[in-house]
Amino acid sequence: MSRAVSKRLARIVPGTLFVGVDLSLDRNVAVVLDGSARRLDRLGFPNDADGYDYFHRRLTTVQEREEAPAVLVAMEPTNYFWKLLAADLERRQVPYRMVNPYTVKKHREGDQLSRAKNDYRDAFTIAEMLRSGKFTETQLLHDGYADLRQYVVLRDRLQGDIRRQKSLIRNIAGQLFPELAHEFADFTCLTGMAMLRRHAVPATIRNLSRPAFIAAVRADFRGERLPVSKLRRAYALAERSVGVQHGTEALQDALPCHIETLEMLQLQIERVEVSLKSTFFALPEAPYLLSAGIGIVTAAIILAEIGDPSRYSNANQLIKLAGTQPVPNTSGRKTRSKTPMSKKGRPRLRTALYFAVMRLIQNDDNFARIYRRFRTREENPLTRMQALGALMNKLLRILWALMKHQRFYDPAYEMSS
């Protein structure tokens, strides 16, 4: 048994009942186990007030019958359903924990070689994992931390939508006018979109004189200064374009749709970032995080992924949350890597830390010095990614200390390796 599991089990009151809940949209199912894995009850209940009342009454009945000192509930972080049940459990002051869906799947398959699956079997597996200490301490976020997380998630989704729209625009423009890539590294720049709105088909361009073509693009241009030289070269390329000859009308009509969607998404993400920054600045940790020299949005993402820092007792918990702790990966004579990142934590937090460290290496002499030392030391020099991973962990420790002690970062402070 690992030390972490032992610590989790040590915090559970002897005699506690373990409840595993398999969540779904219409009907949740629960299985109640005692400390020896004996099934005491199983039930189903919907995601509404009456269903939660029924669930609580059944738990109370079993607890009183068994004279159990406490009840502990576990569930997978399924969609948004877990938030509904977790909020109700918090209101009733019933403790709960989370279990990893991947681990639940593997445990169930290991216990049931037939690979049989149903909701009650999943609920039993969840309760058994809870009983054996294989759970996480994840809890609902509250107040400004909850709002900040939602803004970060929304911004992330909008960025994904923007990337998809840009990809669609590049795909259509590449079919109609492939040579345009010689002039526009990014088809979604202001000039590129002004041209693509109505003049992405080379045959259409060839039917216009060069001044008429430039004037037409200028009418759709949303910037301050139109780069006419680019349009002249694009006009010349249209003379011998090898773009598709059929379906061009439909492809041309599709471009304004994607361009308008892209512009709308860009306006939306600007509004979201305003709200995100406002929410971030309202939290007490904001000035201390920013003092470390990281950007506002990056700092907001890091805090959103961490949540209320008072929930953690040391910086190593944040490193594990990010999944940046080094772990061995060896088997027999094979060694894939001595110390790769576990990558079992929050990917958005890892990404934010990566870009924060890249920025600090450029702007903070201490980080730059330590990075060079990691790469060039005589004993066990690190690869580029190993050095960056070590600095990501160092940054998390610094940010943890700043938030915990409410101190501002001193760039002149000599950080130990």
156-168 pLDDT tens trace: 999 999 999 999 9
The pLDDT value recorded for residue 395 is: 96
The pLDDT value recorded for residue 417 is: 38
> What does the mean pLDDT of the chain come to?
91
104-128 pLDDT tens trace: 888 777 776 555 566 789 999 999 9
- The CATH topology of domain 3-140 is Nucleotidyltransferase; domain 5 (3.30.420)
Q: How confident is the model at residue 207 (pLDDT cuts 50, 70, 90)?
A: very high
The pLDDT value recorded for residue 256 is: 97
The pLDDT value recorded for residue 106 is: 80
Q: How far is CA 352 from CA 91, 139, 298, in A?
A: 33, 22, 6
pTM of the model: 0.88
CATH class of the structural domain 147-276: mainly alpha
Q: How far is CA 335 from CA 109, 328, 331, 332, 339, in A?
A: 28, 9, 6, 8, 10
The pLDDT value recorded for residue 233 is: 96
The pLDDT value recorded for residue 339 is: 57
The pLDDT value recorded for residue 414 is: 46
Contacts 24+ apart (CB under 8 A), 203-209: 203/248, 204/252, 205/234, 205/235, 205/238, 206/238, 206/239
166-203 pLDDT tens trace: 999 999 999 999 999 999 989 999 999 999 999 999 99
Task: Please report, as a single letter, which amino acid is at residue 325.
Answer: Q
The pLDDT value recorded for residue 103 is: 83
CATH 1.10.287 residue ranges in the chain?
147-276
CATH 3.30.420.140 residue ranges in the chain?
3-140
211-240 pLDDT tens trace: 999 999 999 999 999 999 999 999 999 999
Q: How confident is the model at residue 338 (pLDDT cuts 50, 70, 90)?
A: low
